[in-house]
Structure 1
Amino acid sequence: MGDYQQFVTDVTTRLSRMAKGELYVAGDSLDRDSLWLTFLESFPAGTNPRFRERSEYDCSTCRGFIKNFGNVVEIHDGQVRTVWSGVSAADPVFSVVAGALDAFVGTLPLSGVFRSTEAQYGAKTTRTLRDGQVEVWHHLHGQVAERHRTEDVGAARGTFDATVQVFQRGLTELTRQALDTVVDLIDDNALYRGEEHGRAVAEFRSLQNGWTQAADARAFVFANAMNPAARFRNTVIGTLVQDLSAGVDLEQAVRSFEAKVAPQNYQRPTALITPAMVKAAMKTIDELGLEESLQRRFARLSDVSVTNVLWVDNDTQSRMKDGIEGLLMQAATTRSSGARLRDAKPEEVPVLTFMKDILPGAASIDLWVANSHEPHFVSLTTGRHPDAPRLFTWDNDFAWSYNGNLTDSIKEKVKRAGGNVTGKLRVSLSWFNHDDLDLHVYEPDGTHIWYQEKRNKLDVDMNASGPYSREPVENVTWTGKVPDGEYRIAVNQFNKRESARAGFVIETESNGKIEHYSYERAVSQKETVEVGRMTVAGEVITDFRPGKDMQAGSAGKDLWGITTEQFVPVSTLMYSPNYFDDSEVGNRHYFFMLKGCVNDQPTRGIYNEFLRRDLQPHRKVFEVLGDRTKCEPSDDQLSGLGFSSTVRSSVVAKVTMSGGRRRLISIQF
């Protein structure tokens, strides 16, 4: 028969030990009915007296215990253990019964946390009177520990189930790479009050490590669901990890996080690049053998093959890479007219016509370098190691950098931002950091054009909210009738976020003429700078009177070793490197390299927009590399003026033809 009282004692003792920790439930209500039947049917043959008139364990008291406590489990060392584990091991009958119950419950999935409104299930003994005698019946019984009791079982279980779901989603959806990135940001002090979230990230990352190594992942989730880190996914720092795990751009994800937790004028102290990103980029660089390719310098005339030069000054020929022998220049036979160059209106000639009909016969070329050409100043760069693999999308190691380390003009930036640059009149604002500058234009009748009253004219308004750009623009364009009269232009600092790269540039355009006016001081919070007053007649700007501290394009100034507002000799004329050797990759630029033009500032030799496709996944790292591996100034560099084929512009050239004739030409781009 077995020792039932010992069986009861063993079960009660086992349950008491389990109750010192958290208890969980396996299976559902239907499984509890099956558990009771398993108990009744698990006795070895010949030992089950259940069909007697009465038996100690075939009663409602024992049934109540088994249905309520029989499927309760603990999680010990990552393993699910039932209340029947190891019970009555020495008993030939009840060890079999306990083993059957243990095996059955072991097949059931974990379904929730154990909570009850009852103080106990079952009873230790009951008594009945039979034939005048008192009979004592022993039953399965157990106390419900105080920690497992509650008045609202549904709410308690619902809260636990919700936590399990959040925890499970966090473990499966939040990637290790995203967690590592956030840890790096916190360690680098690149996240607002990041140190406050460091412990939460570390705890969740530790839990995720444990989960991936757990023999029973479901048991691990249940066992750790009470840990505060289980709800990490739904915390503010968890939303940052969510965004990064979902592939959101690092800059955008951090800005979204900072919008939730940071003051409006918070300025992040460091760039958003992490050691993990650097490691991944360097792995690619190493695999492709590009380490030497990252070492850049200014290009010299001797670096450039004569086959990639469209025109060269006679004094410069001997310095070319392939020498005079490789240079093929068409000799012109135009007879000199003997006329002197007069102050006359230049001939307007499209650049393609200039290249085809005028350039082959030119003996010398001088360009009128105006102040308005300041954004067109350009330097040619190359690699320090000619045999290193290429970095860019074209098959050579040359690149270029416009003044201010920009690759295109303000107009081009406006176009990229979706602004209209084809109207009759345009006023554009450009600046170089994360500040929120606002352009204000007042029409002659007092109409105020600004971000709150765009009047269908202001079509680009950047850095008002994230994601922020370090090449922001604002743009006002008149496509319909342009009123005659005086216009007032101002710039207001709506939100100062940085002190680096302060100041701004205003670009105006009408009738194909582009002018620039720069402000080189920092604009304080809420300060308004009076840019100037602009007179328009017949839809054309006829006069511009700059405001205080605005630098206009009328007086000459020293730039890159030359003085503007005068003619400067051209040494060579070439296409941009993406059009060298009959390549045609992207937009073509025309470079007029000027004698004596020397860029005296460290210049970027790497731009993300130039990178070959397999390097694009590491744009963030290359952005930093480009900024930190600038080309150091050299006296024998190739610098001058550059003009894009996609941007409407012009430059006046004084051309002396081979026969002595001199021509004043406005080259139209």
Structure 2
Amino acid sequence: MNNIDKYDSSDDQYPHFSDAIKERFSTFSSKPLFTTDSENLFEVFLNNLPDHAKQHYNCSCCRYFLNRFGGLVSISDDGEMSSVLWDEHNTPEFFLESVKSLKQIALKSKVTGVFVSSHDVLGYPMTNGWYHMSVALPVDQIHNSRLKTAGQIIAEKKEDFRILNAGLVEYPLDAVDQAVTLLESESLYRSDRVLGVAKFLRDLHNNRLQTDNNQNRDNITWLAVATAPSGFCHVKSSMIGTLLDDIVNGLSIDSITRRFAEKMNPASYMRAQSAPTQGNIEQAEKIVEKLGIANSLKRRYATFEEVPHFIWKSKENVKKDAQKSGGVFANITPKEQNTFNNVMNLPNTVMTWDKFQRTVLPSADSIEVMVDNPNRFMALVTATDQEAPNILQWNNSFSWYYHGGIDGEIKRRVESAGGQYEGNEIRCSLIWEGYTDLDLHCITPNGEHIYYGDKSRGNGWLDIDMNGGAHRDFLPVENIRWSHGYAPIGNYRFYVHNYCERGKGITPFKVELEVNGKVYSYHGVAGGEGYRSDVFKFHYERGKQPDISSSNYSSEDAWNIATGSFTKVNGITISPNMWGEDPVSHSGNHIFFLLEGCKDSSEGKGRGFFVESLKSDLREIRKTLEAYTANTPIENVDQASACGLGYSKDSEWNLVLKLTSNKSTRIIKIDRWD
């Protein structure tokens, strides 16, 4: 403490002491801080000062600062603690014994929690002309959430520590190692969503094994709690917990793989299984108001020009960018250099995306893609109000969706169940969630009836029938198909029947019809037992697309791109969660080919955002947010120009590209990511 007008600091060098505290604290500005059980720090400080100065420094503001913040520590990777305020190497002699004692107490204490504060300054720098001990908290460490107080966050971190410790005991290192091995092998569906937390647990186990000191082990866990992404500490109640349970219980690899795929299904993963209650809605209204994110929920289609990160752009778009940012003569198009009179066709090649990106893409002048799978259609979406707070886990307002679901769920289910998804003249597939027994029926042009009771008629075949009899599957699928050249000409009628109700009497379902490579989708809701509804009725002539009779379907026609042909690529980008310096890899890793003229002219309901992509603050109201986006169209479809085809690390690609470089054209097939 130092009085501006009356106190002569030449003897004790108080200004130097005060600056030394601030300088010491600033060296920890980028590290998490922790509270300890240190006690009576102000008395220790006074008792180690010269007797004649004790009364002068007996100050309530300094007492508050020392007792509240004097025991703060930082934790190194090996669990060793450092005092964030006290360092004898830069302390005036007058305060040296006090600093040594305070540091010793802090380093011998036990960590009690993660330090969180909403104040930009710790302590009271000056009152009534007197200086006091204080430090400034770095901007990125100031808690400024309008939803939860600093005290609530501190309490949550303590609970995270308890839960994480319990998880470390329940799931030993060898089980976690097995989980990481399985996830890295990519034999588990959508494994990248869980790989991050598995590696986090493995690294934490290994770090704790590096020391025999129990207190240091606890400190390592506290450091993990302070730095872990949202949800990582809740091992038992998350997907990694269910995987580890299966491993610990000794299930076979086949069983583990099947159970994991069921739980990671895009249609149910982190999705509400029922509508929100009135109480849920009222609570959501309060949280949205507190966070000021009402406008953040409004979504619109993104434009090509808004995309901030590209792996590659067509030569034409690069020129446009140069003209926009160029000088006086930027609007003049330079003469093309003609090195060849004719385009030379090079041999076809098969390679991985990783190799293509490294060796071929940098020299590409133009690229076209073969559009042959409408489930690959995707669109980038962004916030309608760019000034509204971001609601997504990553540091931008962009998200995306696929025409065929997050990863083409129908294809995955059909093939996993042993059915034939590709290579058909006509195929009709039904999916739903739950143990209710829905049945897919077809009345063929010959008047024959294909259903569970007669699975093969007139070259048509119901090759998958689920949830009948004693069979139970939570993620069922049914599939009726005709191989090429065998589909009869005439009138087809497909309908869905609820044969046995085993749920709440309301079962959403999706039916996908494919005719000669063109896909139509129907979305419906089955009522109770006995429900029956037509989904597709049409007249078929070989080699022609039918006129579909249905009021609740969409097709790839909505994307303004013809399938079975090459389409120009304007640019290639990665998924928005991977943009910038802080990628959120557990939300998936995708490559998007943005196409000339591609846009989804449907309303895009239910796809403005997905609840698993939202910030953790919104997790408790995800049921209400899911209902909101399911009923809210995406805006500005007429301006959408950031749409195209998407491919993820989770599945095979089988993407055919036509690439022109230096007047040479070649066909390249990309079979997988790497």
Which category of TM-score, normalised to the shorter sequence, fits these structures? 0.3 to 0.5
TM-score by length of 2: 0.42
TM-score by length of 1: 0.42
- Compare CA radii of gyration and give the structure with the larger one: 1
